Structure 1
Amino acid sequence: MSLHSPKEIAAVAIQSGVTKSHLSIPSLLILGFLAGAFIATGFLLDIHVINQLPAEWGSFGGLLGAAVFPVGIILTVLAGGELLTGNMMTLPIAWFARQVSGYSVLRNWFWVTLANFIGSIAVAWFFGHLLGMTEGDYLKKSVAIANAKVHADFMHAFISGIGCNWLVCLATWLAFASKDVVGKIFGMWFPVMAFVAIGFQHVVANMFIIPAAIFAGQMSWADYLPNFVAVFLGNAVGGGVFVGLAYYLAWRPQNESVTASR
């Protein structure tokens, strides 16, 4: 079959978490930088698609932007990258299965967070600021998106973060389900498109759009910090609890039952 069963997917996710826990710091930094840049590029594409759409198109315009955003996670999963939000599911489920230590989870999250941030702000600075791809004609849209994120209070940003990473980690889960490239792309596409169209908050995507507004002189790093904390925690709950823990408790998979196909 070209598809893993749900219980097999859980075993694949555990094996993925084990593999990630063994990566060296240089590998985490390189792959994390790439993933941060990939997600930022997907967001940049989203902004360029929706920027000039007529206002009367309403939410349909947002849907068009959401439809192109998934290029970031597709590049991350298929080309190779370490993305914090996905690792908020794969490392915890491996820990629940007692295949990795709690230290390994925190180690991975720390270095991947740092690398994702560097990759995201590199795109925001070089493409967004220096090339003007989030400024000039695009500034109003970029700042409106960033303002909506930083002005959400802690509770709303936290809950939004849960919803986001529930969907993002389900996208990763469906990518594990398929054994072919086309199936992986389709499996990832719709959950990611859904979180963007709904407007949920993604900690790595925010590492691009909020610094882009900061580089344009429209807000400060102090404005960003509370958002980062709230969305990080919400994403951790969405991925680790609503996907990782839920499916671990449902299936109790054995680590050795399926070899990870990534």
Structure 2
Amino acid sequence: MTFDAFSPREVTEMVSNAGVLKGNMRLDKVFMSAVSAGALLAFACGTVISTNATPWFQTNAPGLMRTISAMVFPYGLCMILLTGAELCTGSFMFTTTAALHRRLPWTKMLIHWVVTFLGNLAGSLFIVAIIFGYGNVFSAEPFKSAVISFATKKQVTPEFHMIFLRGIGCNWLVCLACFFSLQGRDLASKVIGIWWPTFAFVSLGFDHVVANMTFIPMAIWVGAPDISVGLYIWKGIIPTLLGNIVGGGVFCGTYYWYMYLLDLNSLPLYGKKHFDSPLQSEQATLKETDIEASAGVIDHETRTNA
């Protein structure tokens, strides 16, 4: 049996190249792309809230409802990755790998993080206020109660360190979804690769800083009694953001750089290889072109030296 997919080493090279592309993109484009990502993920968050608006099942089968919600939520990340929108949590892996690979300055990495975070927040709040809020999507029962209950379980009940640790697990899985989205060559493989790690983090109740940009402000909008803007910043942004940075930047970006790019003298993505027959050479050329297209950016200096 053969699998038409890139190897982990090839994918890590593509992650590094994508990080270079992201880190050097014009900041206005980064911001607008991040706004799109925040809005797209907000739609999926709305679906999660709607799915949880089932009082009897929440009381008698809460695990089942969480699993069903987790099954549908990944469409948000699919829309983001397949349209090339900028999600700050994915950027933590891409740009960290590029910076460790010495292809992107650390300052550009940090600037990209800040701009994508602000863009994601703007896109999420737009959906919360304009589409969900003034559209009265969650103003009626049982949806209003579902919004308040869901946000209370995320913000009021857990302690700071619990949210931080959940944030690590969340973005570890989200960045694996980004990794798998590059590994598959066809659309179906990419969607499947994105779907299951995303399903895992939602089904486990982990915390994603961009998803919280919808869940918590939406609860504030409908009048949740125990949630304020200050509480959201203290427990919805800070611990989740720090945990997501560790999960994506350390457990994914740093790990895969260490395993596949550290001390790598010849880059396998663009390296030359001698073949015994013209047919083998032609097939290899086609594969190399495919890899370059999937990576999204071509390192000119590396190509020249190859």
Q: Which residue of 2 aligns with 1:34?
A: 36
Runs of at least 5 residues in structure 1 that lack an aligned partner in the other structure: none
Q: Matches of residues 21-170 of structure 1 in structure 2 within 5 Å?
A: 21-52=23-54, 54-55=56-57, 56-137=60-141, 138-151=143-156, 152-170=158-176
Residues 91-149 of structure 1: CA deviation (Å, up to 9, x unaligned): 00101101101111111011100000010011111222212223322111111111122
What is the TM-score normalised by the length of structure 2? 0.82
Deviates most, 105-114 or 150-159 = 150-159
Asked if the contact 1:12–1:255 (Cα under 8 Å) also holds between the matched residues in 2, the reply is no
Asked if the contact 2:10–2:268 (Cα under 8 Å) also holds between the matched residues in 1, the reply is no
Runs of at least 5 residues in structure 2 that lack an aligned partner in the other structure: 271-290, 297-306
Q: Which residue of 2 aligns with 1:232?
A: 241
Residues 13-43 of structure 1: CA deviation (Å, up to 9, x unaligned): 0011000011111111111000000111111
Asked if the contact 1:28–1:111 (Cα under 8 Å) also holds between the matched residues in 2, the reply is yes
Q: Which residue of 1 aligns with 2:229?
A: 221
Deviates most, 216-225 or 78-87 = 216-225
User: Which amino acid in 1 is paired with 2:85?
Assistant: G
Larger radius of gyration: 2
- Separation of aligned partners in 2, 1:147 and 1:53: 16
Alignment partner of 1:190 is 2:223:
no
Residues 177-234 of structure 1: CA deviation (Å, up to 9, x unaligned): 0111110000000100110010000000001110101112222111101120110000
Q: Which residue of 1 aligns with 2:292?
A: 259
- Separation of aligned partners in 1, 2:4 and 2:125: 38
Asked if the contact 1:14–1:255 (Cα under 8 Å) also holds between the matched residues in 2, the reply is no
Q: Which residue of 1 aligns with 2:181?
A: 175
Asked if the contact 1:30–1:115 (Cα under 8 Å) also holds between the matched residues in 2, the reply is yes
Asked if the contact 2:10–2:269 (Cα under 8 Å) also holds between the matched residues in 1, the reply is no
For the aligned residue pairs, the C-alpha RMSD in angstroms reads 1.5
Asked if the contact 1:135–1:142 (Cα under 8 Å) also holds between the matched residues in 2, the reply is no
Residue among 199, 224, 229 paired with 2:205: 199
Asked if the contact 1:37–1:116 (Cα under 8 Å) also holds between the matched residues in 2, the reply is yes
Deviates most, 79-88 or 135-144 = 135-144
Residues 27-60 of structure 1: CA deviation (Å, up to 9, x unaligned): 1111100000011111101221231264233311
- Separation of aligned partners in 1, 2:6 and 2:171: 22
Residues 43-89 of structure 1: CA deviation (Å, up to 9, x unaligned): 10122123126423331111111111111110101122100100010
Q: Which has the higher contact order (CA 8 A, sep 6+)?
A: 1
What is the TM-score normalised by the length of structure 1? 0.96
Shift of 1:2: 2.9
- Separation of aligned partners in 2, 1:217 and 1:58: 24
- Structure 2 CA distance for partners of 1:53 and 1:188, relative to 1, 3 Å: farther
Q: Which residue of 2 aligns with 1:3?
A: 5
- Structure 2 CA distance for partners of 1:260 and 1:237, relative to 1, 3 Å: farther
- Structure 2 CA distance for partners of 1:255 and 1:54, relative to 1, 3 Å: farther
User: Which amino acid in 1 is paired with 2:93?
Assistant: M
Q: How many residues align?
A: 262
Secondary structure of 2:161's aligned partner: helix
Asked if the contact 1:163–1:195 (Cα under 8 Å) also holds between the matched residues in 2, the reply is yes
- Separation of aligned partners in 1, 2:246 and 2:268: 23
